[in-house]
Amino acid sequence: MKTILYILLMFYGVNIVADGDISTSAKRQVTRGNVQIIEATENIRYVSQKFAKEYLFFYLNPENDKIQKDLYSSLDILSKNLRAISVVSKDQDTQDILEFLAYSKEEISNILGNKPTKDKALLMLDYSETLLEGADSIAKTYAYKFSNEEKMLVLSKNIKFLIERISKYYIALHLGYDIENNRDKMKQAILSLKDGFINFDNYFYPEKLQSTERLLSNLLISDIWIVDKNKEYFIPSLLLDSVSFFEDKMDILALYHSKNL
């Protein structure tokens, strides 16, 4: 799936840049449209990992109606944010990437309409990485220098992305998918999560939010402990419940930073 994306991007003439670089088109003046697109790409990054995690769990629990509804909710979030970028962006490269991501979304929708299988679960892992790469490519085109509060807001979304990514690989490893490669990706996501959350530990929140930040810090410790014990215990329901609670609390800090923009 990754190879297919890169071939199509090259075919369409999309300027793929290295991590940390900004393409020429990104040097345009920052507008409200840039902000909207960056926010939408962050949402796509997050949901790309979330729906893959949900499908893997659904494969393990095919009679779970709630997780099936969650999958369709995640697909709706994906659709909404793809449309948001399409409406704002006039960049042809971006529109070409969106066209391919929309195709991927339709393929995902077709998968959801059938009984979950191990092969389809593997496809979901591939699609999650394709959507992630597409969102990252669009984000680079519209990158700009964030203010301090914008950095914290984007970081809050990235923290949620990382914890979903870790959960995805936690279940994938149990299913035996590309064990060493996925284990390395999970370890890297854990390191990025720990490094990223230091910013919240160091941020001076008002007293009413300090308890929320401390709670999140403790939740991270417990969630990472569950993941680290994956060779001894496999308790996805506990992890998924904890992740859902963590993200609800993370949204409280994100809302605070959003109001401070």
Domain count, the chain: 2
Q: Longest Cα pair distance anywhere in the chain, in angstroms?
A: 53
Q: Would you give per-residue pLDDT tens digits along the chain (261 residues)? A: 554 454 444 444 444 333 444 444 444 455 778 889 999 999 999 999 999 999 999 999 998 889 999 999 999 999 999 999 999 999 999 999 999 999 999 999 999 989 999 999 999 999 999 999 999 999 999 999 899 999 999 999 999 999 999 999 999 999 999 889 999 999 999 999 999 999 999 999 999 999 999 999 999 999 999 998 877 889 898 999 999 999 999 999 999 999 998
| SS3 label, residue 176 | coil
> In whole angstroms, what separates CA 128 from the centre of its chain?
9
Contacts of 182 (CB under 8 A, 6+ apart): 169, 172, 173
20: alpha, beta or left? (left if phi > 0; alpha if psi -120 to 50): left
Q: According to the model, what pLDDT value does residue 29 have?
A: 52
Query: What sections of 92-235 are H helices per DSSP?
Result: 92-112, 118-141, 148-175, 179-202, 207-228
For 83, the enclosing helix (H) or strand (E) is helix 65-88
Q: According to the model, what pLDDT value does residue 1 have?
A: 56
Residue type present at position 50: K
**C-alpha triplet 145, 134, 151: angle, nearest 5°:** 25
Q: According to the model, what pLDDT value does residue 96 have?
A: 96
Q: According to the model, what pLDDT value does residue 30 have?
A: 58
Distance CA 126, CA 121 (A): 9
Q: According to the model, what pLDDT value does residue 213 have?
A: 97
**Pair 156, 250: CB distance under 8 Å:** yes
For residue 19, tell me if it sits in a domain: no
Distance CA 89, CA 102 (A): 15
Residues 252 and 188 in one domain: yes
Q: According to the model, what pLDDT value does residue 32 have?
A: 75
Q: Which two tokens stand for residue 107?
A: 């393929």
Residue type present at position 151: K
Contacts of 172 (CB under 8 A, 6+ apart): 56, 125, 178, 182
Distance CA 210, CA 103 (A): 43
Number of Cβ within a 10 Å radius of residue 167: 28
pTM: 0.86
Q: According to the model, what pLDDT value does residue 25 have?
A: 45
Residues 118 and 225 in one domain: no
For residue 109, tell me if it sits in a domain: yes
Residues 86 and 42 in one domain: yes
Among 81, 115, 144, where does a domain finish?
Answer: 144
For residue 213, the domain's CATH number is 1.20.120
Q: According to the model, what pLDDT value does residue 14 have?
A: 44
Q: How many CA atoms lie within 13 A of 29 on its CB side?
A: 2
Residues 134 and 160 in one domain: no
Q: According to the model, what pLDDT value does residue 168 have?
A: 97
Q: According to the model, what pLDDT value does residue 232 have?
A: 85
Among 144, 164, 197, where does a domain finish?
Answer: 144
Residues 90 and 178 in one domain: no
Q: Can you give the residue range of the structural domain that contains 247?
A: 147-261
